């Protein structure tokens, strides 16, 4: 698979369920289907029956990895599941999740959504605990032999002979970055969210148990009832005695703003707001801030649809479907030829000539990463007879890479840095180009600016980013954000526990 594709790449989806007497493997399977959009490289499920944990995972989509025979073999009373898009580590089988590790107390299976930024310090910590002199020397066990941060967390949790809850409570304050974790031992399901709550994590109730998931849509699909979001800095323990809450760090909310733009499903609820409604509101604000004289508003399916609905409603320009999406074109592990790769968007979208011919179009999309998609789209619409193509984007220009779980390109590969909106417009060949403002986007979420991570738009990183990571992302010393710094344990105080 080609890395840094010209779309914002999702991160991962996590799911956990504790439900004695239920088919937890199948519930997890359905939950992962609801989270497929968050990761399409690999999928996995770990199930515990109280005496042992069984894990099955493989490369591919959820429907490709699991079949009836596999699900029937995964029996137990609780499970965790994962869909993966790699943001750290390569796209290979050993990096598929959930991870599995043997511990002095039994077994551990763990799934992670996010990205840690202090892996060097964690590798040092692991080396110290292993009694090794050199940094980065990890156990040569298959479950710990990987290049991603999830296995590093698993390795650290697997070393101590204390109860897993105590191990986690001591380790979680030392993790820096974005993390939403679900993990199990033989008898208990745990869920934890970083103190900033960058990546979403929610709690739901089943008739005979509990469920945690990256999005409320996954709770809906398994017939659960949404209870609340897991709080930033909170760890949940779920066992036969019920639900228990502990705070391992004080909350400093900085939810990812891009979840509202693109990542989350439109039927998901974040901070009390349905994502579809937020995106419609963004479209309305976009029409106010960047109006266009046109005959028809069309979306780039699927993520551009709510914004186009809002733009049409606010502007009074009719809404229409001018592009047909091929639903069967997604990620593939068969690398296309260069000629097919150059065709790009034509493999996924086809214009309806009868709808767009001779018309002045407003084309609403969620974001522009490198500009290749919009460039090909504008060309295709002109070839199909569009009189004018006015591109409108439901997010501000993407100026900075993400260190917290989204696979944005390096800054040098983003189109926006160093170019004006008019220059980007000329680059993609549109008649006009307009972005929603950062203030307008934030207003649509109904969340205060101080409680949102906006780093990909304004370069203000809420969590320390190592200078080494910034360099790898293509930021030189002058460009590195002011908040980039080395990690210090003193920066993160541990919170009080509560039952």
Question: Which residues contribute to the annotated binding site for [4Fe-4S] cluster?
Answer: 256, 402, 453, 456
In order of 22, 43, 332, 334, the CA distances from 65 in angstroms are: 21, 7, 14, 17
CB 61 within 8 A of CB 36: yes
d(CA 38, CA 258): 13
Strands 209-213 and 242-247: unpaired
> What angle, rounded to 10 degrees, do the helices at 275-289 and 305-315 form?
50
218 in Cβ contact with 268 (< 8 Å): no
> Exposed, middle or buried by CB within 10 Å (0-12, 13-18, 19+), for 240?
exposed
Distances from the Cα of 27 to the Cα of 24, 31, 290, 293, 311, angstroms:
5, 6, 44, 49, 38
Rounded CA-CA distance 213/260 in Å is 17
Q: Are strands 242-247 and 53-59 parallel, antiparallel or unpaired?
A: unpaired
User: How many whole angstroms separate alpha carbon 216 and alpha carbon 171?
Assistant: 27
CA torsion, points 68, 72, 73, 79, in degrees to nearest 10?
Answer: 110
Phi then psi dihedrals of residue 42, to 5 deg: -150, 165
Binding residues: 256, 303, 365-366, 402, 453, 456
Among all chains, which residue has been given the structure tokens 């500009």?
Answer: 371
Which helix (H) or strand (E) is 14 found in, with range? strand 12-18
Could you tell me which of 90, 91, 83 has the C-alpha nearest to residue 11? 83
Q: Which residue has the tokens 């034509």?
A: 346
Short-list 415, 414, 403, 406, CA closest to 469: 403
Residues identified as active-site: 12
- How far apart CA 347 and CA 357 sit, in angstroms, is 21
Tokens at residue 337, please? 């030829």
Q: To which residue do tokens 């703003």 refer?
A: 257
């Amino acid at each position: 698979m080609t890395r840094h594709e010209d779309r914002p790449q999702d991160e991962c989806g996590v799911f956990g369920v504790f439900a004695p007497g239920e088919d937890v493997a199948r519930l997890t399977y359905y939950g992962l289907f609801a989270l497929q959009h968050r990761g399409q490289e690999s999928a996995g499920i770990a199930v515990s029956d109280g005496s042992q944990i069984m894990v099955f995972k493989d490369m591919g989509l959820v429907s490709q990895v699991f079949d009836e025979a596999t699900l029937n073999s995964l029996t137990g009373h609780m499970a965790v599941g994962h869909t993966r898009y790699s943001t750290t580590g390569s796209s290979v089988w050993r990096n598929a999740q959930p991870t599995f590790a043997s511990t002095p107390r039994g077994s551990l299976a763990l799934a992670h959504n996010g990205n840690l930024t202090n892996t060097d310090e964690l590798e040092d910590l692991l080396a110290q605990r292993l009694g090794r002199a050199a940094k980065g020397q990890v156990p040569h066990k298959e479950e710990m032999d990987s290049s991603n941060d999830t296995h590093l967390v698993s390795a650290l949790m697997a070393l101590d002979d204390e109860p897993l809850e105590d191990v986690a409570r001591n380790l979680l304050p030392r993790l820096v970055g974005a993390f939403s974790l679900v993990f199990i031992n033989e008898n208990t399901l745990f869920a934890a969210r970083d103190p900033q709550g960058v990546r979403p994590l929610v709690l739901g109730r089943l008739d005979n148990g509990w469920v945690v998931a990256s999005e409320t849509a996954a709770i809906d699909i398994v017939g659960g009832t949404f209870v609340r979001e897991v709080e930033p800095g909170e760890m949940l323990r779920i066992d036969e005695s019920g639900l228990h809450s502990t705070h391992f760090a004080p909350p400093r909310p900085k939810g990812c703003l891009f979840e509202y733009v693109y990542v989350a499903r439109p039927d998901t609820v974040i901070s009390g707001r349905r994502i579809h409604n937020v995106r419609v509101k963004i479209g309305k604000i976009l029409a106010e801030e960047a109006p266009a004289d046109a005959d028809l508003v069309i979306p780039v399916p699927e993520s551009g649809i709510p914004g186009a609905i809002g733009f049409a409603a606010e502007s009074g320009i009719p809404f229409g479907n001018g592009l047909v999406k091929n639903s069967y074109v997604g990620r593939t592990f068969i690398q296309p030829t260069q000629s097919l790769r150059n065709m790009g968007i034509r493999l996924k979208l086809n214009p309806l000539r009868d709808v767009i011919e001779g018309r002045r179009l407003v084309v609403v999309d969620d974001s522009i990463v490198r500009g290749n998609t919009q460039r090909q789209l504008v060309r295709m619409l002109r070839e199909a007879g569009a009189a004018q193509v006015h591109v409108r984007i439901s997010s501000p220009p993407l100026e900075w890479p993400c260190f917290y779980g989204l696979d944005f390109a390096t800054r040098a590969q983003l189109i926006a840095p160093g170019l004006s909106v008019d220059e980007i417009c000329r680059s993609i060949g549109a008649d006009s180009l307009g972005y929603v403002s950062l203030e307008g986007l934030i207003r649509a979420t109904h969340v205060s600016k101080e409680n949102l991570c906006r780093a990909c738009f304004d370069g203000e990183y809420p969590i320390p980013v190592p200078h080494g990571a910034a360099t790898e992302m293509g930021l030189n010393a002058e460009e590195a954000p002011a908040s980039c710094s080395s990690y210090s344990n003193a920066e993160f105080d541990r919170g009080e526990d509560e039952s």
